[in-house]
Structure 1
Amino acid sequence: MVTVSPPGTWAYVLRLPHDPRAARVARMTVRAALNGHGAGEVVDVVELLVSEQVTNAYRHTKGPASLRLAALAGGRLRVGVRDGHPHVPAPFGRPPWDRVPPPPADAENGRGLRLVQLHADAWGCRPLGGGPLGRDAGKLLWFEVGGPRKAMAGT
């Protein structure tokens, strides 16, 4: 069986253990993959947003996470981080996605997902069903760069 993909498309998936070093491993993987595919112009922003999402997965869950990088048609890059926690944070949750207020100046956290809102061209969340014994529960938070700017929850 032959699989045909549109030119310039590719995908990588990385399973990340519940480990404080997972964000660093994810950043290094993103940098290597994007530079290897000639997408160096988006490395810094993708590396920043991946670091925030993987750090949140580590901080707010007790299990592993996974990172998926996919080059799509039209020069877009979609990045997804899957974790086992069902809570969908803003700006990935219900509309209005564009009204996530900035945290207070003295807050020690709460800025990470606002960065997605500021730097990604599109973002969304796909809740994952609770399969047998709840193993598939959780969510997939994703964002895109390199396309028209819009928020699309649930896709």
Structure 2
Amino acid sequence: MVTVSPPEPWSYALHLPHDPRAPRVARMTLRAALAGHGMPELLDTAELLTSEMVTNAYRHAKGAAAMRVRGGEGGRLRVGVWDSNPHIPPPFDRPSRPLRTAPAADEDDGGRGLLLVRLWADDWGGYPLGDDLFGRGGKLLWFELGVAAEAVVAA
């Protein structure tokens, strides 16, 4: 069975409670959206990066989070994760640029998730939100993937 993607961009939004199961729910939602829109070639990388960003939202914010998944022209995918913590971790507080921060030490419990996003996404960033759609402020971190970039990562 062949799935045909609609010619116009599409998007889905998901409200995530502050719950340790939120990354799994986000991955399942992303998997369903990409399968439904005929984008399986992006699934592995998108699923990993989404999981890392939703996990960070759970670990570093005290409240709910939200995820938005958008498909665009040319097989592009954009995933945004909102949380209530206004702190934007570097280098997401600046426009995309080459990685200049040291990776986490072997004994560190964290610090690798956003490194994966920076290394594997085609583009990424973040910005603060005043009164966002949930009326709580916070921040939005996002990443983009494209079919061509996924093929390079897989190779």
TM-score, normalized by the shorter chain, greater than 0.5: yes
Alignment of 1:57-136 (within 5 A): 57-94=57-94, 98-130=99-131, 135-136=135-136
Q: Distance in 2 between matches of 1:136 and 1:125?
A: 16
- Coordinate RMSD, CA, aligned: 2.1
Q: Deviations over 1:3-32 (max 9, x none)?
A: xxx814210000001111101000111111
Assess if the C-alpha contact under 8 Å between 1:128 and 1:137 holds in 2: yes
Which amino acid letter does the alignment assign opposite residue 15 of structure 2? R
Please list every run of 5 or more consecutive structure 1 residues that lacks an aligned counterpart in the other structure.
1-5, 150-155
Shift of 1:104: 1.0
Structure 2 residue aligned with 1:31? 31
Aligned pairs, number: 142
Q: Deviations over 1:75-108 (max 9, x none)?
A: 2111000011000012312365521211112212
Provide the TM-score with structure 1 as the length reference.
0.84
Provide the TM-score with structure 2 as the length reference.
0.84
The farther-off stretch of 137-146 and 92-101 is 92-101
> What is the identity percentage for the equivalent residue pairs of Structure 1 and Structure 2?
58
Shift of 1:58: 0.7
SS at match of 2:42: helix
Assess if the C-alpha contact under 8 Å between 2:94 and 2:125 holds in 1: no
Q: Distance in 1 between matches of 2:40 and 2:90?
A: 28
Shift of 1:74: 2.2
Please list every run of 5 or more consecutive structure 2 residues that lacks an aligned counterpart in the other structure.
1-5, 150-155
